[in-house]
Amino acid sequence: MKSNNSRSPVFKFMQANLFVKSVIIHENNKTSYFPNVENGKKYYFDTIIAHYKKKSTPGSHMLLCTQKEFIYFYQKKETIYICECSNNISISRVKMEFNTFIEDSNKQGKFPMFITSFFNR
Amino acid sequence: MAEKQIQLLSVKESITLTPSEWNVIVMLYNYPDLDELKSKYSVNTDQLNAILEKLQAKKAIQSTHIKTLSSAEVPSSFWDRLEKELSISIGPVASLVLDDKIEEFNRSRDNFSHEMLYSLVEKLVTEINSPDGKQQFQKKMLTLIKQYQGNKNGR
């Protein structure tokens, strides 16, 4: 799914937090990637999401640590939010920044509309 | 600021190192300056600190704190503000709770590193009952930490 709108809330979040490499949002069995990633990486994320979905419940979160990255998962209601970022930063900061971004975006109402435009196509 | 300096020690007894501990030894050998090491290898600070503590326990390294002129310690104005914001969420016990949480890091307000502020806030958030209160506090703290870091870098 193409998702390269630089004015989107996700891109603003990424610009404000340069340690974030990509944001992935999964809802209604559809996944959106910010920025768009190549197929190999999509397969990688789709596989992880499939594993995460088996156990996750709303409010649950998970952190994967790879050699170069942290991949932080958070499920809010039925939507899974994933933040991939460099691992030279405090995990607490990643969690706080990402959770605040998700909560803010959901409260403001702009984000659900933006997401809906992607997932209800 | 209390800057950490690491010194490799000669080992008198045999010790066992994990691969990650050995990697840190190699990195320290190449870059004895911790800041330079972090920039060259893009390592995670929390993980690195944990490994350094283990190496110190195994007496493979010695860590000393040197006082330098620049200050990365958290200023008292920051603690005042944090305490005030926390008291809005949990009331008059805020000061006690804050000190307890700082103690969990084996630190005091005087020698608390700004790098650990995010972890501290995460611990404090668990003391707030209402989900909205947690969110509000977390958001305010993010802004406050950024303001403080901005001021520190702008000095």
Model confidence pLDDT, tens digit, residues A56-99: 888 888 999 888 889 999 999 889 999 999 988 888 999 999 99
A5-14, A108-117, B48-57: which range is least confident on average? Answer: A108-117
More confident residue, B66 or B94: B94
The answer to whether the Cβ–Cβ distance between B118 and A103 falls below 8 Å is no
Residue of A nearest to B124 (CA): A92
The alpha-carbon gap from A113 to the nearest alpha carbon of chain B, in Å, equals 22
Q: How many other CB atoms are there within 10 angstroms of residue A94's CB atom? A: 23
Pick from B42, B47, B122: CB nearest A92: B122
Q: Are A30 and A119 in contact (CB under 8 A)?
A: yes
Separation CA B109–CA A119 (nearest Å) = 48
Q: Are B61 and B9 in contact (CB under 8 A)?
A: yes
**pLDDT at site A2:** 46
Give the DSSP H/E element, type plus range, for residue A16.
helix A9-16
pLDDT > 70: what percent of chain B?
A: 88
Separation CA B132–CA A121 (nearest Å) = 32
Q: How many other CB atoms are there within 10 angstroms of residue B18's CB atom? A: 11
CA distances from B61 to A95, A105, B75, B116 (A): 32, 46, 30, 22
Rounded to a whole number, what is the distance in angstroms from the first to the last CA of chain B? Answer: 14
Mapped to the 3 state alphabet, what secondary structure does A25-68 carry? EEECCEEEEECCCCHHHHHHHHHHHHHHHHHCCCCCEEEEECCC
Burial of B108 (0-12, 13-18, 19+ CB in 10 A): exposed
Structure tokens belonging to residue A22: 């990509």
Average pLDDT over residues B10-35: 83
- What letter represents residue A20's amino acid? V
- The residue whose two tokens read 């959770």 is A99
The answer to whether the Cβ–Cβ distance between B42 and A92 falls below 8 Å is no
Burial of A98 (0-12, 13-18, 19+ CB in 10 A): buried
The alpha-carbon gap from A121 to the nearest alpha carbon of chain B, in Å, equals 32
pLDDT tens for each residue of B48-75: 888 888 888 888 888 776 544 334 578 8
Report whether pLDDT(B5) > 60: yes
* Cβ-Cβ contacts under 8 Å, A90 against chain B: 45-46, 115-116, 118-119
Name the band, by pLDDT with cuts 50, 70 and 90, for residue B28.
confident
Pick from B42, B47, B138: CB nearest A100: B138
pLDDT tens for each residue of A19-65: 999 999 999 889 999 998 888 889 999 999 999 988 888 888 899 98
**pLDDT at site A89:** 86
The answer to whether the Cβ–Cβ distance between A104 and B42 falls below 8 Å is no
The answer to whether the Cβ–Cβ distance between A92 and B141 falls below 8 Å is no
Give the DSSP H/E element, type plus range, for residue B128.
none
